[in-house]
Amino acid sequence: MEDGAWLKSRDPLVHQMGEGGVSDELKSLYMKEELDDPADEIRTILPSEIPGGSIHVLVVVPKLRVENDHDWLSIVRGLHRGVVEYNEASAYLPHKLSKSFSNAAVGQMEMERLKKNQLLIDFAPIENGEAFWSEETQMLADAITDEAVFNAFVTPYFNAILDVYGLVLVNSAKCGWLSESTPVTKNADITPNGFATHRGMYRGKPEPKDRVQRPSGFRFGVAEEDLFDCLILFESKIKIDNSGIGQVVRYLENLCPKESASAILFDCRSFWLIRSERAVFTEIQRARWTTKGSKSLFENFIHGNISHLAARLSLACLHWHVNVAEGDAFLGRGAYGRVFKVTGRGGEDFALKIVEKCSVGRLYREEKALATAQRTGLTISPVRKLFETLKARRYCCLQLGNLCLNQWNDSKC
């Protein structure tokens, strides 16, 4: 209050507000859309001995709230900058509006934009860091002139890293699985060299008869369309050029046109780690295989781009002691979730459903409905309790099913 006049602790109004109450007079102010003179309105409910003049409200904000507000404003400013940068990037990419550009032209435009915006980063060596492979191995790679042979050469190195994170590398160069779409039609399938994903998130295919000598442990297959958001694209070239970069742009346009995605473009001398948002490259880091620290760079990229669903599938299998049927596990989306065929230690087949947290209420209702209808002839019944994964991003449900007509019956999943 002005002139040092404050409400006294004995004032009824102060006592009422201290108890969490609000006077009828103050409530009446809430209902007014406009106040011609807020000070006059407030003065009518204050003790008469308070002198006239300006009325001020003193608010004590907890320190933590101030810090949180500052953090929030910083986040908002960062998001705003990101939106501006993305809009600029989108406007700069005419290939997103026309299919008439060649891969080489698209790649050239992309490289110019990346360099202009300083989004193309050359990895600096790390003292005492481990290289992806040795100089001796590099000499072997340099001698390879066939792309399929190079894929066979490099795949075991990729497998060793991916296995640590519960992922597998699936070779798909001979299997057309990614449709080059337009808003109206779908054209011929295009064929990325491969992709990394969870072992339960691809459809296995037989090894191609191309006379390429491959070590054991190779996987061949195609990605599941409903799981495109759960993979890291791999594309190989004998030598990376604008055409190869444009090709990856095309892949990501059709793979995740409205979401974030990641890809690794590599040749005999180097690898490029690509992050994109709505098919627009947001950053590329490139390094030579023999650069010190390049192995940890590659590992960190894999770790940072594992899909949440792949991580939750691994966690759910570990929790319930079940295994996915590799290369033939994905049953479909089901109701509000994605469903996988898993096998228990005793050989029992189960349907494992994973849903987002926003759909957990539906999952509980589904569990209750199945439990209620167990004696009505349904072929599926819930087993064990629902399981909440870490960070509460997804919930999992395990269901027992019977095989009908030699097919997995997932109509009730």
CATH of the domain at 364: 3.30.200.20
Q: Name which of 72-81, 91-100, 285-294, 329-338 the model is least confident about.
A: 91-100
Q: Is the pLDDT of residue 69 over 70?
A: no
Band of pLDDT at residue 183, cut at 50, 70 and 90: very low
How many domains, in total, are found in the chain?
A: 3
Average pLDDT taken over every residue of the chain: 76
Looking at the structure, do residues 319 and 284 belong to the same domain, yes or no?
A: no
- Using DSSP's 3-state secondary structure scheme, residue 213 falls into coil
Looking at the structure, do residues 321 and 354 belong to the same domain, yes or no?
A: yes
Distance separating alpha carbons of residues 31 and 34, to the nearest angstrom: 9
Looking at the structure, do residues 112 and 245 belong to the same domain, yes or no?
A: yes
Looking at the structure, do residues 134 and 198 belong to the same domain, yes or no?
A: yes
CA distances from residue 71 to 53, 74, 81, 83, 198 in whole angstroms, order as listed: 37, 5, 15, 18, 36
Binding site members for ATP? 353
Give the structural domain span for 320: 310-408
At 21 the pLDDT is: 63
Looking at the structure, do residues 333 and 279 belong to the same domain, yes or no?
A: no
At 108 the pLDDT is: 94
Looking at the structure, do residues 352 and 392 belong to the same domain, yes or no?
A: yes
Q: Is residue 152 assigned to a domain?
A: yes
Q: Is residue 373 assigned to a domain?
A: yes
Instruction: Please give the span between the terminal C-alpha atoms of the chain, in angstroms, as a whole number.
Output: 66
Q: Is the pLDDT of residue 39 over 70?
A: no
Over residues 171-190, mean pLDDT: 60
Distance separating alpha carbons of residues 81 and 92, to the nearest angstrom: 17
At 178 the pLDDT is: 72
Q: Is the pLDDT of residue 239 over 90?
A: yes
- Are 394 and 357 in contact by the 8 Å Cβ rule? The answer is yes
Distance separating alpha carbons of residues 153 and 168, to the nearest angstrom: 16
Residue 406 burial (C-beta neighbours within 10 Å; 0-12, 13-18, 19+): exposed
Binding site members? 353
Q: Is the pLDDT of residue 281 over 60?
A: yes
Looking at the structure, do residues 250 and 302 belong to the same domain, yes or no?
A: yes
Among the candidates 255, 275, 306, a domain finishes at: 306
In degrees rounded to 5, what are phi and psi of residue 56? Answer: -115, 150
Among the candidates 271, 306, 341, a domain finishes at: 306
Looking at the structure, do residues 332 and 397 belong to the same domain, yes or no?
A: yes
Q: Is residue 82 assigned to a domain?
A: no
Q: Is residue 92 assigned to a domain?
A: no
- Using DSSP's 3-state secondary structure scheme, residue 297 falls into helix
Q: Is residue 397 assigned to a domain?
A: yes
Q: Is residue 83 assigned to a domain?
A: no
Distance separating alpha carbons of residues 100 and 94, to the nearest angstrom: 10
Looking at the structure, do residues 291 and 366 belong to the same domain, yes or no?
A: no
Q: Is the pLDDT of residue 358 over 90?
A: no
Q: Is residue 34 assigned to a domain?
A: yes
Distance separating alpha carbons of residues 402 and 399, to the nearest angstrom: 10
At 256 the pLDDT is: 83
Distance separating alpha carbons of residues 401 and 389, to the nearest angstrom: 23
At 410 the pLDDT is: 34
Among the candidates 277, 306, 335, a domain finishes at: 306
Q: HEC string of 345-369?
A: CCCCEEEEEEEEHHHHHHHHHHHHH
Q: Is the pLDDT of residue 399 over 90?
A: no
Looking at the structure, do residues 148 and 269 belong to the same domain, yes or no?
A: yes
Over residues 358-372, mean pLDDT: 67
At 30 the pLDDT is: 47
Q: Name which of 117-126, 133-142, 388-397 the model is least confident about.
A: 388-397
Q: Name which of 28-42, 86-100, 111-125, 163-177 the model is least confident about.
A: 28-42
Q: Is residue 267 assigned to a domain?
A: yes
Q: CA-based Rg of the chain, rounded to a whole angstrom?
A: 30
At 294 the pLDDT is: 98
Q: Is the pLDDT of residue 405 over 80?
A: no
At 257 the pLDDT is: 84
At 413 the pLDDT is: 32
At 18 the pLDDT is: 60
Q: Is the pLDDT of residue 287 over 70?
A: yes
The residue with greater pLDDT, 316 or 67, is 316
Q: Name which of 196-200, 307-311, 345-349, 372-376 the model is least confident about.
A: 372-376
Looking at the structure, do residues 217 and 346 belong to the same domain, yes or no?
A: no
Highest mean pLDDT among 23-37, 38-52, 98-112, 192-206: 192-206
Looking at the structure, do residues 29 and 138 belong to the same domain, yes or no?
A: no
